[in-house]
Structure 1
């Protein structure tokens, strides 16, 4: 028996408001409620959650009511299938994710104590190996091309290789994009140099990452931001944990203190700050209010609550 045809169109996902390009992986986090040092062997909790810089940014953007789409590399393995399903449950668009037959799904492992991050290892080798394959939708006309560049917001993370980030900074396919760039970790901070050299995008760094980019040591975020502007940054946001954060560009510089909270977690705090700042500016908040909103969201996150 033939079922009657329905004239009601199937619901389609909302168009992406921002592309999140970079690491989408599994976070394996061990947390202990006591202070820890090198060699500590302590009781605690171990969790596995969807993570990666691009993923963390996308999840936070979705919580703020935006429609992020992911461009990344995820293996065609059981872990990858589970990760794609988790993205779907979180309302993230994975239609343009590169699925590899021979590369495993990436992962990140960290240990946190009451005194902060003790150690972490990011295994993003599959993302690095996939290279520019993850950018095909921005080059083949699906989302854009060199002759018709994508004109929306793009959040990039430093888990991409230096050569690929250099290509993005110079490519006509990104000429009209609002680029927002984070280094992923201090160990990858120098991968942001192409954006300094070409004065492209908005850079989100912490004080340590700012020092690595400038090959200097800074006492505060305002000094670091000024040095990065001198080195070519078009627009910079520098955070310093529970201390002051600075937003600076050619037109103005201002520094604000974040709310003081009890720290329950640290992994993902920088990504939350970046996503909250993007969301605030998307809502049309003026620069100082947008920074205030981002600091409040990050403080709420590290206290253990959702950043809303």
Structure 2
């Protein structure tokens, strides 16, 4: 879906009987333009019948962190210990939230469970997510909590030099809160979890929802260790090589050893594993097939958010019933779209833009 279609669909979910002129006034376009977008949504099978009856959609639930990303970017090379001329920008971020926004922009119905404060950053995150088409009804907004922030500084090559995060509020997304959403979680077609969650919350989800495909983002080496007792519950795991080595205790000296590493995870019960190899690409394994797919060349603008876009691409591919290889290629192209914009989430993220990257990489 296009960004405008996502915006229209979000309004129709709240008010299926809204007149076209009122809808046009809400989003600042003409009534005829609204009619055109609604016709496109009807042709895609998303709207059915009068009164804008929405087709029953498969949906994903994302459970994880949401924060405000504060990004510092030097004009030239980074001079450590000195004041650097450059730019500073703010945008909604957080691993779980990033995955949810990318997934929604790709066209999958997405519900986000996270925790934010009733402060300016929290309200901005809520409104931004709703604008992107994410269902936020299951998100906690706490009057006695401070919205998470993530401060990062890039180096001269646009890669992260250092970062500091303040994510204490995510501890409030506890087991009791998760239990209160049991019915919604049980109806999900897949659940995406990021390892920023507390050990207790991870244990609850991985122990009680193994019958639903669980996609897990390891986040970091330190946080990945929390997953080790529950690998048998994970359907799709997305670590980088260092995280996979730490989880398995297997050190890799050459990429020829990657199949053995992947097989160790399969022996623990993981259905699919996607090993991020940075500029060397992605090694995927789903028990039936294993392959290393080279990275797509890209002029990187901001390294933040590429991994989140990759996992969103995998989840979107699963909802679409694509093969593991097709899902991997799509996810890698989604990461390229993410890398091409200064914001954590590229506002042009869509299935169309991802497929364009795939097409151009083949030519």
TM-score range (shorter-chain normalised) is 0.7 to 0.9
Q: Secondary structure at the match of 1:163?
A: helix
Give ranges in structure 1 of 5+ residues lacking alignment: 1-6
Q: Give the whole-Å Cα distance in 2 for the aligned partners of 1:138 and 1:215.
A: 36
Q: Give the whole-Å Cα distance in 2 for the aligned partners of 1:129 and 1:8.
A: 34
The aligned residue for residue 46 of structure 1 is 88
Say yes or no: does 1:229 pair with 2:263: yes
1:279 counterpart (316, 322, 325): 316
The aligned residue for residue 234 of structure 2 is 200
Q: Give the whole-Å Cα distance in 2 for the aligned partners of 1:37 and 1:253.
A: 42
Deviations 1:246-305 (A, max 9, x none): 111322211100111122111111001110122123223222121111112212321326
Give ranges in structure 2 of 5+ residues lacking alignment: 1-14, 19-51, 354-363
| Count of aligned pairs between the two proteins | 293
- TM-aligned CA distance change 1:86 to 1:114, over 3 Å: same
Q: Give the whole-Å Cα distance in 2 for the aligned partners of 1:12 and 1:102.
A: 39
What TM-score results when the alignment is normalised by the length of structure 2? Answer: 0.73
Pairwise CA distance, 1:57: 0.6
Q: Give the whole-Å Cα distance in 1 for the aligned partners of 2:93 and 2:138.
A: 18
Q: Secondary structure at the match of 1:18?
A: strand
- TM-aligned CA distance change 1:61 to 1:222, over 3 Å: farther
The CA RMSD measured in Å over matched residues stands at 2.5
Q: Secondary structure at the match of 2:89?
A: strand
Worse-matched range after superposition: 162-171 or 12-21: 12-21
The aligned residue for residue 224 of structure 2 is 189
Q: Give the whole-Å Cα distance in 2 for the aligned partners of 1:183 and 1:37.
A: 31
Pairwise CA distance, 1:40: 5.1
Pairwise CA distance, 1:221: 6.1
Worse-matched range after superposition: 66-75 or 79-88: 79-88
Pairwise CA distance, 1:219: 4.1
What TM-score results when the alignment is normalised by the length of structure 1? Answer: 0.86
2:275 counterpart (235, 238, 244): 238
Pairwise CA distance, 1:63: 1.5
Worse-matched range after superposition: 226-235 or 10-19: 10-19
Q: Give the whole-Å Cα distance in 1 for the aligned partners of 2:291 and 2:308.
A: 21
Give 1 or 2: higher helix fraction.
2
The aligned residue for residue 171 of structure 2 is 128
Q: Give the whole-Å Cα distance in 2 for the aligned partners of 1:8 and 1:108.
A: 37
The aligned residue for residue 3 of structure 1 is none
2:65 counterpart (8, 17, 23): 23
2:17 counterpart (9, 25, 28): 9
1:247 counterpart (263, 280, 284): 284
The aligned residue for residue 155 of structure 1 is 192
Deviations 1:12-68 (A, max 9, x none): 987671101000111111122433364353221111111101111111112111121
- TM-aligned CA distance change 1:17 to 1:37, over 3 Å: farther
Worse-matched range after superposition: 159-168 or 128-137: 128-137
Pairwise CA distance, 1:137: 4.2
